[in-house]
Amino acid sequence: MSSEEIPGTRERLPWLKPVLLIIILLPLFAGGILVSTWFAMRNQEAKKRELPAPPEDIIALRAENTLLKKMLGQVEGKVAILGPLSGTSTPASPHGKIVWDESLQQGFLHLSGLPVPLPEGQVLYLWAFTDKAAPLPCARMEPAPEGTLSRRFIPPERLLKVKKFQVTLGDRNGLTNTRSTVLLEGAFE
């Protein structure tokens, strides 16, 4: 027997279709809300795990760390051994190393046995010799009281194809004379 055959069946259950529709759609709707909430929470957790971009000082420390590793021989690098000019070497003569990274355009130098105190009004200058006719200034420096010097340097202009470095003793007022007293000189190995 169908509902058409039973008189009054349609009038007694007019609410049945909306109730059945709600019963079917409610779990689907609730499930959709739960799934979208789960995805939103998962995305928030992923964003919390993402690390922010490192600050500039961290980037600089990483570059310096790379140079230090090269200095210690842990990474292939361009290393110049610095020593006194030929014929002037003594056991107490100044000596050192320079690590130069052409791609980063910076270097690290470690010097020891430097004359201290420096003469009044004098400082140390680091020069780079490239294909250009004149040497290029890289840094103005003062040694520690023990006669050592360790520091990173970034030349004021881009250096390409550096052949050697030189450390001179010169006037504190400026980089005007590369012919001042040469303390150390070294080419790349």
> Structural domain of residue 35, as residue ranges?
9-49
Same domain, 111 and 150: yes
Whether 3 maps to a domain, the answer reads: no
Write the CA distances from 75 to 68, 115, 119, integer angstroms. Answer: 9, 31, 37
pLDDT tens by residue, the chain, 189 residues: 555 555 555 566 677 777 787 888 777 777 778 778 888 888 887 777 766 666 776 776 777 777 667 666 655 557 777 777 655 555 567 888 888 888 888 888 888 888 888 888 889 999 999 888 788 888 899 999 988 898 888 888 888 888 889 998 888 876 555 567 888 888 876
pTM for the complete prediction? Answer: 0.58
Write the CA distances from 61 to 46, 82, 140, integer angstroms. Answer: 28, 25, 21
Same domain, 28 and 68: no
Whether 127 maps to a domain, the answer reads: yes
Same domain, 154 and 115: yes
